[in-house]
Amino acid sequence: MKAAILCVDDEHMILASLRDQLSDHFGDRYLYEFAESAEEAWEIIEEFEEDAVKILITVSDWLMPGTKGDEFLIKLHQRFPKVIKVMLTGQADVSAVERVRNQAELYKYIAKPWQKEKLLQTLEAALDQAH
């Protein structure tokens, strides 16, 4: 079964940075998908289900148009409790982070701008747990 890392952020430049950092670090060990909204993320998730791709980690921003990151991660947890959830945001509302911790087993909150090494170490540790 193929395994994937899904990143959700409404800023294209953030997604491009994540794509570069993830592919440079993990190479072709995983599939990488990038969505600019929670709605787009759900479309990718549906395609993954059809293609038998397992999402290991979802990295999501909080402040996005439409569905906020906390709502998205909680719904994701309800459908896929084993997916590891990381919130990467510069605008986090403390109560939203707590809500995701309590209702969706948030693995880690990382503030923007992030340090590449910290992000990659967090994802490495999460992937060790996922396997």
The DSSP result for 2-49, as a single string, is EEEEEEE-S-HHHHHHHHHHHHHHHTTSSEEEEESSHHHHHHHHHHHH
Residues 86-127: tens digit of each pLDDT: 999 988 788 999 999 999 999 999 999 999 999 999 999 999
Place of tokens 């719904």: 75
**pLDDT at residue 92 in the model:** 75
pLDDT higher at 46 or 94: 46
| 18 vs 116: CA distance, rounded Å | 9
Mean pLDDT of 4-30: 97
CATH number of 2-130: 3.40.50.2300
Share of the chain above pLDDT 70, in %: 99
For residue 115, the 8-state DSSP code is P
Mean pLDDT of 54-58: 97
Where residue 130 falls among pLDDT bands split at 50, 70, 90? confident
The domain segmentation of the chain, as residue ranges, is 2-130
| 102 vs 96: CA distance, rounded Å | 10
With 0-12 / 13-18 / 19 or more C-beta atoms within 10 angstroms meaning exposed / middle / buried, residue 107 is buried
**pLDDT at residue 129 in the model:** 84
**pLDDT at residue 43 in the model:** 98
Assigned token pair, 36: 């600019």
β-pairing, 53-60 with 2-8? parallel
Residues 86, 60 contacting (CB under 8 angstroms): yes
**pLDDT at residue 84 in the model:** 97
**pLDDT at residue 83 in the model:** 97
**pLDDT at residue 3 in the model:** 96
